[in-house]
Amino acid sequence: MRTLSTCTRLDDPYRAGLALGTALRPVAPEVVFLFSTVHYGQPPELLEGLYDGLDNESVLVIGNSGDGFYESGEVSDHGVAALGLNGEGRLRFRLATEASLGEDPEGAARRAWASLQSGGEKPALVFLAADFRTDATRIEAVLHDEIDVPVVGGLAADDNRMQNCLVFAGRQMLDDSLVMLGVYGPLRFEIAIGNSLSPVGRAGLIEAAEGTSLNRIDGLSAADFVERETGKPVLESDRGIVTLSIANPERPGEKRLRSIMRHAADAEGSISLYGGIETGKSVRVCRAHPADLIAEVQAIAERATQLDFAPKAALIVSCVGRKWLLNEQIEHEVRELSQSLGRRLPLAGYPSFGEIGPLKDEWGYTPNLFHNMTYVLLLLGD
């Protein structure tokens, strides 16, 4: 496997794409993972420049916009990063794109998965990119129940205004869409999830919730419940800092997080979350501390040195809430990995509005889950 990553902060979309494509051309990538900030909008000159730089029309491009980007040597609020990957004939790749995501998230996920299997072969791994303006819990239902291979990825993001986003599929720059990349063949990979926030206070039973709106917990409005547990009102700046942990009593290791969304608390005391949540589940409020997040990423990076294969590339999908909380320390999301491995690993990633990936427990990978406030690391090798 040959891999290479690069990034640029050129503001002109064509120039930026061209710079990336030109930089990646030495590994003749078959697939490019592309993560940009949202200001490279339509027309899709970023992709035009990328293909012109690659000088290869057959390259598969998948990716989306994020609230900044991560690359091996850089973390930035603006610009674009790309990871090129050449399977050297041992791996095959297929791209599936589905529209109408907002209207029918389950159908879009189901059809994309069916498309990836249409050749009669099941992929070893799936990477997913999707518009954030949907109920990701409904995508998760399909990923969790119907797709029995690990799916890694997340929801696109913008510059934290929650207004717009881009999803990349080949030369197309899409919205309201979901894209899946199937990787076929003897791929070695490791998925690590960092979501160990500290619960505080008492557990509460969700009495009323609808989609991503959380209405009542323990006889209180959701906002009052959070205030009861944290001792202060729900604030805009609580995004990512105040998170709800959803426990699954049937599988204790399967913990999911839901972060409070911007413009959250309404007059009724409901709270909007970055993902759906179900009535009847038990939740606890979590408070995140930068030092804890960094320590967990350090532990994940340390484990990356003990794998039975040498990682040749990495993808990182990490919640915007973590970025909001870590602030200047956001570079740790990338730096720890390079420091542990002792080399500059080709890497690309982005701060997302929702992360996707299975957890790993003693039985292997759990079914695929949708997370918030989570750090998802995918290490690739051969």
Binder of other proteins out of 188, 262, 287, 303 (CB under 8 A): 262
Residue with tokens 């069916």: 114
One-letter amino acid of 106 = E
Could you tell me the two tokens for 256? 């999911």
250 contact partners, CB below 8 Å, separation of at least 6: none
Stretch that binds other proteins, among 132-140, 172-180, 231-239, 351-359 (CB under 8 A): 231-239
Binding mask 73-92 for other proteins (x = CB under 8 A): ----xxx-------------
Q: Does 52 bind other proteins (CB under 8 A)?
A: yes
Binder of other proteins out of 42, 235, 305, 361 (CB under 8 A): 235
358: phi then psi, degrees, rounded to nearest 5 = -80, 155
Binder of other proteins out of 11, 145, 268, 278 (CB under 8 A): 11
DSSP state, 132?
S
Q: Which of 292, 303, 302, 275 is nearest to 326 (CA)?
A: 292
Minimum gap (Å) between residue 237 Cβ and other proteins:
5
Q: With respect to other proteins, which residue has the nearer C-beta, 263 or 364?
A: 263
254: phi then psi, degrees, rounded to nearest 5 = -90, 90
Q: Does 312 bind other proteins (CB under 8 A)?
A: no
Q: Does 25 bind other proteins (CB under 8 A)?
A: no
Minimum gap (Å) between residue 160 Cβ and other proteins:
7
Q: Does 15 bind other proteins (CB under 8 A)?
A: yes
Q: Does 188 bind other proteins (CB under 8 A)?
A: no
Q: With respect to other proteins, which residue has the nearer C-beta, 43 or 219?
A: 43
Q: Does 161 bind other proteins (CB under 8 A)?
A: yes
Minimum gap (Å) between residue 119 Cβ and other proteins:
34
The region that residue 287 occupies, defined by phi over 0 for left and psi between -120 and 50 for alpha, beta otherwise, is beta
Q: Does 272 bind other proteins (CB under 8 A)?
A: no
Binder of other proteins out of 26, 119, 219, 233 (CB under 8 A): 233
| Whether 38 contacts 159, CB under 8 Å | yes
DSSP states of 269-300 as a string? --EEBSS---TT-EEEEEE--HHHHHHHHHHH
Q: Does 26 bind other proteins (CB under 8 A)?
A: no
Compute how many other C-beta atoms are within 10 angstroms of the C-beta atom of residue 118: 10
Tell how strand 313-319 and strand 347-352 pair up.
parallel
Binder of other proteins out of 1, 22, 200, 272 (CB under 8 A): 22
335 contact partners, CB below 8 Å, separation of at least 6: none
Q: Which of 61, 66, 64, 72 is nearest to 32 (CA)?
A: 61
Q: Does 19 bind other proteins (CB under 8 A)?
A: yes
Binding site for other proteins (CB under 8 A): 9-12, 14-15, 18-19, 22, 37, 39, 48-49, 52-53, 77-79, 159-161, 232-233, 235-237, 262
